């Protein structure tokens, strides 16, 4: 995983928390690409190093996994 200071600027604590809450109340399984900031669907909560559909980087992590690093 990239160091927090290298994450895309759009990946904020608020955005990750919103995704985690959505995961608990809806059928969404969100994740985020640390390189381009795009939200990815179909990620397991503990997803690590999935391939991003937008930029191709293997830096997609599940929202719950990212939440661990924001604390």
CA distances from 58 to 25, 36, 49, 53 (A): 27, 11, 5, 10
The pTM assigned to this predicted structure is 0.93
Label residues 23-39 b or e (16+ Cβ within 10 Å = b).
Answer: beeeebbbbbbbbbbbb
Query: pLDDT-derived band of residue 2, with 50, 70 and 90 as boundaries?
Result: very high
pLDDT tens digits, one per residue of 56-65: 999 999 999 9
CA distance 50 to 59: 6
For 7-30, what is the mean pLDDT? 96
């Amino acid at each position: 995983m990239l160091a927090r200071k290298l994450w895309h600027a759009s990946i904020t604590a608020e955005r990750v928390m919103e995704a985690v809450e959505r995961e608990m109340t809806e059928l969404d399984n969100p994740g985020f690409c640390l390189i381009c900031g795009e939200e990815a669907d179909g990620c397991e909560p503990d997803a690590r190093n999935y391939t991003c559909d937008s930029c191709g980087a293997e830096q997609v992590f599940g929202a719950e996994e990212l939440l661990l690093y924001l604390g």
